[in-house]
């Protein structure tokens, strides 16, 4: 009954700007190098969704997680308020190829993923997010469960000598603030864009007024320079640094003392008017992440103090050429490379013996975490598009990845497990075929099949007796893992209809459904023949070792309906469902999100906008017991947002998030870990939160 009343309220109350996923055929053409979906039907990949407008009508400060919060099919994996990562259709981490600006990659240094790529890029810089929903393109690197491209702002389109904005945001829950400055300029052939931001977040309170350890400070800046030699040649350089300090992670055994990252990239683009050769795109990038974490503020400190100093170096590049073969064939061919290496150890000072008695002289140990490991991936690909008619096209892609891996400073216990250990080479094949048909009256249908292969990550191969999961197990890497394969079939249908009537102006609608058969799915599995290396008497005494499982699958759908009415109103509803099965263990795969439904009613004019959003998340009774998951009850959260523009160039926005102060936890969120005031129960989400955001453009 409560639900019905709230839904009715939604319809009746005043409201706002729905950021709808735009089907690919309605995107404005942009000349930028950063995008992978340009609106050109001859070039765009199959099965994409786009979310843009991240910089318009802002009503609250952003953190990286919120960028994905409102995209249908996405859920968030949280370890607190900082290290937030997207889960898309029950795939996450290295199963998703997360990059930004059309191919720049950066990997975290922390074995607990305190610093994923989503924390290395300032959320303020992101102007849009592009998603390829499965292994349906081979052009953007290894693609197992999808590609996510975060596009950051550029000065390429600036039309003034100096243009920019100053903004400031505040959130009451946690007494958190964000301040930032953006500047951009174009002088003839040269353009530059830059931004600086500072955020200071406090611990938030959940719906029952429990204070959750989650505070952090972060300073970041980004710079992009571009030079257009002429209409056909352009060069762009980008550089960014991010400094995280004193980050509390409610769901991890340690806190971040320091996380410094540096990322640089260089892009060159050539367009040709030759009949066959149409252009070239070259890219190189480099990133370095320096991470320090410790347990100095945690209960375990009294027994044993621990500090880990780890770093990660990523570098890579891409060279892609574009060809027209007659009027019916378009061809993209190229090669890409990505190298990731990690090193770092944990220094431990044991102060009490196993009986809990203080040791007169504490014992010092150095534990190997990353074992000086690396993976190098060299990919080569060819993707062709054949135009059967003007309205129908076929895409065919093929990709080979050559992966080499090794670890050069082995922990003796790890080395004893794998006596034949050495450098390893693998070759993986990925491919796809898609058919797309434009139907009359703005309808499109796409049918795709893709096979995406992904070799094991560094964690899965080489982690040495370290707690990296959301469960209390020590994890052990397995250098002999086979590559994980996703065979995905997908059908999607999108349409829109315009009306002459004054009541309903336009409706947009769509549905996508998919079925994936996994081969060699990689999972950490308890190995009862082994005993954990550190604290060997503390349960669980057996560690988890990464294994390939034989048989697993997922299937699901997303659907949306967006109705524009009375010129300024807008009603959006979205639904996403995913079902997974680990057939070997007869249970769900880990991190399968529950059914999610969203309703959003909005009102928007030039000067004023408002919205009510109501999210219903169903309970998730289907769990992965081997992953220590527990069933999660359903919950409902309502947010109200509004803003206005009192002066030209000035906008003021505010919101009440979680207006009913709902006490809840998300199914994918980690459990409290090594915290004085909490047992190992799931971390609860923020309660009611008032936000304010002011932005001045000049």
Residue 660 CA to residue 132 CA, distance in Å, equals: 35
Q: Which is nearer to Cu ion, 469 or 495 (CB)?
A: 469
Compose the 179-218 pattern: x for residues touching Cu ion by CB under 5 A, - for all others. ----------------------------------------
Q: Which is nearer to Cu ion, 80 or 556 (CB)?
A: 80
Interface with Cu ion (CB under 5 A), residue total 4
Q: Which is nearer to Cu ion, 49 or 83 (CB)?
A: 83
Pair 620, 578: CB distance under 8 Å: no
Residues 631-650 that bind Cu ion (CB under 5 A): none
If residue 466 lies in a helix (H) or strand (E), which one and from where to where?
strand 464-466
> Taking the CA of residue 157 as centre, how many other CA atoms within 13 Å lie in the half-sphere pointing to its CB?
9
| Residue number closest to Cu ion, CB atom | 110
Both tokens assigned to 345? 């150890």
We find the least distance from the C-beta atom of residue 254 to Cu ion, in angstroms, to be 6
User: What 3-state class would DSSP assign to 458?
Assistant: helix
Q: Applying CB under 5 A, which part among 103-111, 434-442, 527-535, 606-614 lies near Cu ion?
A: 103-111
Residue with tokens 């932005």: 695
CB atoms closer than 10 angstroms to residue 303:
16
Q: Applying CB under 5 A, which part among 105-113, 127-135, 468-476, 657-665 lies near Cu ion?
A: 105-113
Q: Applying CB under 5 A, which part among 62-70, 187-195, 291-299, 643-651 lies near Cu ion?
A: 291-299
Residue 444 CA to residue 217 CA, distance in Å, equals: 46
Residue 148 CA to residue 150 CA, distance in Å, equals: 7
Q: Which is nearer to Cu ion, 171 or 311 (CB)?
A: 311
User: Residue 234 phi/psi, 5° resolution?
Assistant: -145, 150
We find the least distance from the C-beta atom of residue 256 to Cu ion, in angstroms, to be 6
Q: Applying CB under 5 A, which part among 185-193, 293-301, 465-473, 560-568 lies near Cu ion?
A: 293-301
Measured in whole angstroms, how far is the alpha carbon of residue 89 from the centre of its chain? 12
Residue 536 CA to residue 521 CA, distance in Å, equals: 29
User: What 3-state class would DSSP assign to 389?
Assistant: strand
Q: Which is nearer to Cu ion, 32 or 110 (CB)?
A: 110
Residue 463 CA to residue 312 CA, distance in Å, equals: 14
Taking the CA atoms of residue 481, residue 483, residue 487 and residue 492 in that order, the dihedral angle to the nearest 10 degrees is 110
Residue 649 CA to residue 48 CA, distance in Å, equals: 33
Note whether 156 binds Cu ion by CB under 5 A.
no
Q: Which is nearer to Cu ion, 94 or 322 (CB)?
A: 94
User: What 3-state class would DSSP assign to 21?
Assistant: coil
| Burial of residue 209, with CB atoms counted within 10 A of its CB: 0-12 exposed, 13-18 middle, 19 or more buried | exposed
Q: Which is nearer to Cu ion, 79 or 436 (CB)?
A: 79
Pair 257, 292: CB distance under 8 Å: yes
Residues 310-339 that bind Cu ion (CB under 5 A): none
We find the least distance from the C-beta atom of residue 255 to Cu ion, in angstroms, to be 8
We find the least distance from the C-beta atom of residue 249 to Cu ion, in angstroms, to be 8
Note whether 293 binds Cu ion by CB under 5 A.
yes
We find the least distance from the C-beta atom of residue 112 to Cu ion, in angstroms, to be 5
75 closest CA partner among 594, 507, 618, 458: 594
We find the least distance from the C-beta atom of residue 117 to Cu ion, in angstroms, to be 15
Note whether 110 binds Cu ion by CB under 5 A.
yes
Compose the 663-692 pattern: x for residues touching Cu ion by CB under 5 A, - for all others. ------------------------------
Q: Applying CB under 5 A, which part among 2-10, 292-300, 344-352, 620-628 lies near Cu ion?
A: 292-300
We find the least distance from the C-beta atom of residue 340 to Cu ion, in angstroms, to be 17
Residue 458 CA to residue 462 CA, distance in Å, equals: 6
Structure letter (DSSP) for residue 24? G
Pair 491, 470: CB distance under 8 Å: no
We find the least distance from the C-beta atom of residue 457 to Cu ion, in angstroms, to be 16
Q: Which is nearer to Cu ion, 114 or 612 (CB)?
A: 114
We find the least distance from the C-beta atom of residue 503 to Cu ion, in angstroms, to be 55
Q: Which is nearer to Cu ion, 475 or 664 (CB)?
A: 475
We find the least distance from the C-beta atom of residue 468 to Cu ion, in angstroms, to be 10
- Rg, the chain, Cα only: 25
The angle at the Cα of 494, spanning 128 to 399, to the nearest 5 degrees, equals 65
We find the least distance from the C-beta atom of residue 153 to Cu ion, in angstroms, to be 29
Q: Applying CB under 5 A, which part among 110-118, 422-430, 432-440, 553-561 lies near Cu ion?
A: 110-118
Q: Applying CB under 5 A, which part among 16-24, 80-88, 111-119, 600-608 lies near Cu ion?
A: 111-119
We find the least distance from the C-beta atom of residue 208 to Cu ion, in angstroms, to be 28
We find the least distance from the C-beta atom of residue 247 to Cu ion, in angstroms, to be 9
Note whether 468 binds Cu ion by CB under 5 A.
no
Note whether 114 binds Cu ion by CB under 5 A.
yes
Close Cβ partners of 281 (under 8 Å, ≥ 6 residues apart): 33, 267, 268, 269, 270, 318, 319, 320, 321, 322
Q: Which is nearer to Cu ion, 293 or 340 (CB)?
A: 293
We find the least distance from the C-beta atom of residue 109 to Cu ion, in angstroms, to be 8
User: What 3-state class would DSSP assign to 300?
Assistant: helix
Q: Which is nearer to Cu ion, 110 or 522 (CB)?
A: 110
Q: Which is nearer to Cu ion, 112 or 234 (CB)?
A: 112
User: Would you call the peptide bond into 320 cis, given omega within 30 degrees of 0 as the criterion?
Assistant: no
Compose the 354-393 pattern: x for residues touching Cu ion by CB under 5 A, - for all others. ----------------------------------------
Note whether 309 binds Cu ion by CB under 5 A.
no
Q: Which is nearer to Cu ion, 67 or 293 (CB)?
A: 293
CB atoms closer than 10 angstroms to residue 229:
11
User: What 3-state class would DSSP assign to 18?
Assistant: coil
Which 3-state string (H, E, C) describes 504-548?
EEEEEEEEEEEEEEEEEEEEEEECCCCCCCCCCCCCCCCCEEEEE
Q: Applying CB under 5 A, which part among 50-58, 228-236, 285-293, 408-416 lies near Cu ion?
A: 285-293
Q: Which is nearer to Cu ion, 110 or 410 (CB)?
A: 110
We find the least distance from the C-beta atom of residue 638 to Cu ion, in angstroms, to be 35
Both tokens assigned to 275? 């009949």
Q: Which is nearer to Cu ion, 104 or 112 (CB)?
A: 112
Residues 83-102 that bind Cu ion (CB under 5 A): none
The angle at the Cα of 75, spanning 73 to 81, to the nearest 5 degrees, equals 155
We find the least distance from the C-beta atom of residue 85 to Cu ion, in angstroms, to be 14
Measured in whole angstroms, how far is the alpha carbon of residue 296 from the centre of its chain? 30
User: What 3-state class would DSSP assign to 162?
Assistant: coil
User: Residue 244 phi/psi, 5° resolution?
Assistant: -95, 135
Q: Applying CB under 5 A, which part among 39-47, 179-187, 288-296, 650-658 lies near Cu ion?
A: 288-296
Binding footprint of Cu ion on the chain (CB under 5 A): 110, 112, 114, 293
């Amino acid at each position: 009954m409560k639900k019905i009343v709230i839904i009715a309220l939604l319809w009746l109350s005043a409201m706002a700007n729905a950021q709808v996923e735009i089907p690919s055929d309605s995107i404005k053409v942009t000349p930028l190098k950063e995008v992978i979906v340009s609106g050109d039907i001859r070039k765009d990949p199959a099965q994409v969704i786009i979310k843009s407008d991240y910089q318009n009508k802002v009503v609250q400060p952003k953190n990286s997680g919120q960028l994905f919060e409102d995209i249908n099919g996405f859920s968030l994996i949280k370890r607190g308020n900082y290290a937030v990562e997207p889960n898309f259709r029950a795939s996450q981490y290295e199963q998703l190829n997360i990059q930004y600006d059309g191919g720049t990659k950066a990997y975290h240094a922390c074995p607990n993923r305190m610093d994923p790529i989503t924390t290395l890029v300032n959320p303020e810089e992101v102007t849009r997010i592009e998603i390829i929903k499965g292994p349906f393109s081979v052009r953007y690197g290894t693609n197992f469960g999808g590609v996510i491209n975060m596009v950051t702002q550029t000065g390429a389109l600036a039309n003034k000598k100096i243009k920019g904005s100053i903004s400031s945001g505040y959130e009451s829950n946690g007494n958190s603030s964000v301040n930032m400055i953006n500047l951009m300029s174009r002088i003839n052939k040269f353009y530059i864009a830059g931004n600086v931001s500072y955020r200071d977040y406090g611990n938030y309170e959940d719906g029952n007024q429990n204070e959750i350890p989650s505070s952090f400070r972060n300073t970041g800046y980004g710079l992009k320079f571009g030079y257009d030699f002429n209409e056909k040649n352009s060069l762009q350089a980008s550089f960014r640094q991010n400094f995280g300090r004193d980050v509390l992670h409610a769901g991890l055994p340690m806190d971040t003392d320091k996380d410094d990252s540096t990322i640089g990239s260089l892009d060159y683009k050539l367009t040709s008017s030759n009949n066959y050769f149409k252009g070239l795109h070259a890219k190189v990038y480099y990133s370095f992440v320096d991470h320090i974490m410790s347990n100095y503020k945690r209960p375990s400190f009294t027994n044993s103090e621990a500090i880990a100093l780890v770093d990660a170096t990523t570098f890579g590049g891409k060279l892609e050429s574009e060809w027209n073969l007659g009027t019916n064939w378009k061809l993209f061919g190229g090669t890409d490379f990505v190298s990731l290496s990690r090193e770092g150890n944990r220094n431990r000072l044991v102060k009490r013996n196993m009986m809990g008695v203080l040791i007169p002289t504490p014992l010092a140990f150095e534990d190997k975490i990353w074992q000086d490991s690396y993976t190098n991936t060299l990919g080569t690909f060819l993707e062709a598009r054949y135009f059967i008619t003007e309205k129908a096209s076929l895409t065919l892609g093929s990709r080979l990845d050559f992966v080499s891996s090794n670890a050069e400073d082995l922990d003796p216990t790890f080395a004893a497990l794998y006596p034949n250990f050495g450098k390893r080479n693998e070759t993986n094949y990925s491919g796809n075929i898609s058919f797309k048909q434009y139907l009359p009256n703005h309808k499109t249908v796409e049918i795709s099949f893709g096979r995406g292969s992904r070799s094991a990550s560094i964690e899965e191969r080489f982690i040495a007796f370290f707690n990296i999961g959301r469960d209390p197990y020590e994890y052990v890497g397995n250098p002999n893992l086979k590559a994980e394969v996703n065979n995905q079939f997908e059908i999607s249908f999108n349409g829109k209809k315009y009306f002459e009537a004054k009541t309903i102006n336009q409706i947009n609608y769509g549905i996508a459904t998919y079925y994936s058969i996994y081969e060699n799915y990689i999972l950490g599995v308890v190995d009862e023949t082994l005993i954990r290396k550190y604290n060997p008497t503390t349960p669980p005494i057996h560690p988890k070792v990464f294994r390939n499982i034989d048989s697993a699958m997922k299937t699901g759908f997303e659907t949306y309906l967006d109705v524009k009415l009375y010129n300024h109103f807008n009603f959006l509803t979205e639904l996403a469902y995913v079902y997974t099965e680990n057939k070997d263990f007869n249970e769900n795969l880990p991190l399968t999100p529950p059914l999610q439904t969203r309703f959003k009613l909005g009102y928007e004019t030039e000067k004023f906008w408002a919205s009510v959003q109501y999210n219903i998340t169903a309970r998730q009774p289907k769990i992965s017991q081997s992953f220590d998951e527990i069933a999660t009850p359903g919950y409902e959260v309502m947010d109200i947002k509004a803003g206005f523009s009192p002066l030209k160039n000035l906008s003021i926005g505010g919101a009440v998030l979680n207006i009913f102060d709902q006490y809840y936890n998300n199914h994918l969120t980690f459990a409290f870990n090594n915290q004085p005031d909490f047992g190992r129960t799931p971390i609860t989400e923020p309660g009611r939160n008032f936000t304010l955001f002011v932005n001045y453009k000049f």
